[in-house]
Amino acid sequence: MKDMKTIGTVCFNLLLIFAGSVLCAVAIKGILIPKQFLAGGLTGLSLLIHYVLPGLPLGLIYFLLNIPLFVIGWLFVGRRFFFYSLAGVFIFSAVIFWPYPVFSIEDMILSGLAAGILTGVGSGIILKSLGSAGGLDILSVILFKKFSIRPGMLVLAYNGALMILATLRIPMEMVLYTLIYLYVSTHFMNFVVIGLSQRKALMIISAQWEEISREIMNRLQRGVTVVRGQGGYTGKELHILYSVITFAELSRFKEIIRKIDPEAFVVVTETLEVMGKRIGNQPHW
């Protein structure tokens, strides 16, 4: 039974990598190459080399550029992620060889939007698996684990440097169109990876703190921390409630507060990541 579950997990994650790789390949072969766009990460560098040396297959260039990153990945990321990512590189390098239909989109901005959505969703699906398709994904995971830097931020910084280099080879107009594509793809990748798993941190100051606390624990099934405080102006003792909930629970939380104490002081903030058994949202890399 355990072996069957393990096989199922492996197949599911390889399916995610395959599906995401196909979406990215559709964007590359169907939009980016016909429009002479660049792309993000090592794919963008691979495309730049491919434009300069069209005789070299894009999939082969991408595979060779990944070798030094896999050396780094072996040292800093988990073995499970490493081997899934190794499989991901083989899958992506293979599907990029397949023929894909060219999108009949004349407008360059709309082409960038379409390619950005496909690539962003595809990259996000790959990162939702237990691995990646190689490239900057490996470096992104290392920085996310060590310094909590979101995957999209590293990609955006690298791509900016790549665009500066690309101006030496392709027209400035194409670089600017590519920036539109990169912005859209980064946004959609972050949305797919983080998306609705984003957690909200809540701070509530209310005279009805006991009732609010009970309602959060009973109705939302979320923990609450009570912090003793003091009003800076009045000097009165206060009880501050602190809790972390999911994005989907936010509207219910507001409804609870309004019914119990419409005058309550409430602060809702976004979180970068949350570690914890019940409410944590850290990716499983």
DSSP string, 214-234: HHHHHHS----EEEEEE-TTT
Helix, strand, coil abundance in the chain, percent, nearest 5: 65, 10, 25
Under 8 Å between Cβ of 185 and 31: no
CA separation for the pair 268, 209 (Å, rounded): 16
Tokens 């100051």 belong to residue: 205
The encoded tokens of residue 148 equal 């909590």
Rg over alpha carbons for the chain, rounded to the nearest Å, is 23
pLDDT in the model for residue 281: 54
pLDDT in the model for residue 152: 61
Sign, Cα dihedral of 149, 150, 153, 159 = positive
Q: Measured between alpha carbons, how far is residue 89 from residues 118, 132, 163 in Å?
A: 18, 8, 24
Query: What is the pLDDT tens value at each position of the chain, 285 positions in all?
Result: 556 677 888 888 889 889 999 999 999 999 999 988 888 778 888 998 988 888 888 888 988 888 887 877 777 766 777 788 788 888 888 888 888 888 988 899 999 999 999 999 998 888 788 777 777 767 777 777 677 676 667 767 887 788 888 888 788 888 888 888 988 988 888 788 776 567 888 899 998 999 999 988 888 888 888 999 888 888 888 889 998 887 778 888 888 898 999 999 999 887 767 776 666 555 554
pLDDT in the model for residue 279: 62
- Rounded to the nearest 5 degrees, what angle is found at the Cα of 144, between the Cα atoms of 45 and 185? 45
Q: Which residues contact 55 (CB under 8 A, 6 or more apart)?
A: none
Q: Phi, psi at residue 82, to the nearest 5°?
A: -60, -50
Q: Where are the domains of the chain?
A: 2-193, 199-270
**CATH architecture, range 199-270:** 2-Layer Sandwich (3.30)
Amino acid at 46: S
Distance of CA 275 to the CA centre of its chain: 17
